[in-house]
């Protein structure tokens, strides 16, 4: 964890081809982030993580979620009840697999993060569950943040 410099700016990211994404990402990251795949439940490295910090986009380093909004959903994936700010993510309707779901994308690089589910009865301020693949995220622990 030595790369703290934000990599590419949003304009360049929008122009990246699939081949360029493949070079930037591991095959597993590419399958989830760029092909809207889903990692197997209870396998992601952040599923039960309670470390205080900021979760960044694995593809572009944009700040997406904070540990303060992470909660234990027991669903097998890291779950957040709110994004860090409303404009860090994009929500789009996803009717694949015969289900009506809402897909969550990184607003900066348009990579797939996961899905958001509403009204499930979780005891959180929003009753939303942003169900996010660990592999789409990169945790920056608060005590490792570079000083300004």
CA distance 38 to 16: 22
Does residue number 84 form part of the binding site for Zn ion (CB under 5 A)? no
Does residue number 109 form part of the binding site for Zn ion (CB under 5 A)? yes
126 Cβ neighbours under 8 A, 6+ residues apart: 81, 82
10 vs 74 by CB, closer to Zn ion: 10
Instruction: Beginning with the edge strand found earlier in the chain, give each strand of the sheet holding 101-106 in spatial order.
Output: 70-71, 79-80, 128-132, 112-118, 101-106, 89-94
Which tokens sit at 108? 């900066």
Minimum distance from residue 64 beta carbon to Zn ion (Å): 7
Does residue number 59 form part of the binding site for Zn ion (CB under 5 A)? yes
For 79-103, the three-class secondary structure string (H helix, E strand, C coil) is EECCCCCHHHEEEEEECHHHCCEEE
Does residue number 139 form part of the binding site for Zn ion (CB under 5 A)? no
Minimum distance from residue 99 beta carbon to Zn ion (Å): 24
Does residue number 106 form part of the binding site for Zn ion (CB under 5 A)? yes
Does residue number 105 form part of the binding site for Zn ion (CB under 5 A)? no
Catalytic residue list contains 131: yes
Which part of the chain contacts Zn ion (CB under 5 A), choosing from 3-11, 18-26, 62-70, 115-123? Answer: 62-70
- Just list the catalytic residues: 131
């Amino acid at each position: 964890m030595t790369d703290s410099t934000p990599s590419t700016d949003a304009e360049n990211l929008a122009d990246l081809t699939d081949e360029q994404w493949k070079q930037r990402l591991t095959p597993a990251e590419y399958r989830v982030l760029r092909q809207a795949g889903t990692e197997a439940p209870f396998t992601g490295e952040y599923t039960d993580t309670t470390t205080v910090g900021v979760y960044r986009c694995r593809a572009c380093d944009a700040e997406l979620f904070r540990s303060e909004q992470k909660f234990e959903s027991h669903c097998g994936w890291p779950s957040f009840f709110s994004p860090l700010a409303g404009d860090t993510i994009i929500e789009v309707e996803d009717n694949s697999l015969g289900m009506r779901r809402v897909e969550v994308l990184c607003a900066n690089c348009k990579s797939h993060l996961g899905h958001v589910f509403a009204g499930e009865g979780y005891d959180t301020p929003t009753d939303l569950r942003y169900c996010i693949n660990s592999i789409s995220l990169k945790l920056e622990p608060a005590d490792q943040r570079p000083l300004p």
